Amino acid sequence: MDDRKYWPRTSEELAEDPIPRSLINQPLPPENVIALPKTRSLYAMLCQTLIDTQALLARMETGVQVRHNEQREVIRTLYVASRNQAKALIATLECEGLE
């Protein structure tokens, strides 16, 4: 049995490899190089926000416990705002030509 397959490769073995097999084998970019952020379409962002808002509403509908009665109004306000946001997101997603 070949025990070498369980050991890291030497730098000489890595240099002989014509195609790097992972990011570990690739050199780091220079300090003045940054990765550009991946931009998502507005439609994709609205869909994800709607999914997250609906999940928050579903969680709140199962019941929320607070320590003080004064905090109930804050939770109620959040619930109403989340419901309104979900309605607005649905209406926006139904707009034609949204880019």
pLDDT digits (tens, 9 = 90+) for 48-86: 999 999 999 999 999 988 888 889 999 999 999 999 999
3-state secondary structure the chain: CCHHHHCCCCHHHHHHCCCCCCHHHCCCCCCCCCCCCCCCCHHHHHHHHHHHHHHHHHHHHCCCCCCCCHHHHHHHHHHHHHHHHHHHHHHHHCCCCCC
Total-model pTM: 0.60
pLDDT at position 29 is 76
pLDDT at position 62 is 94
Nearest CA to 50 among 94, 93, 98?
Answer: 93
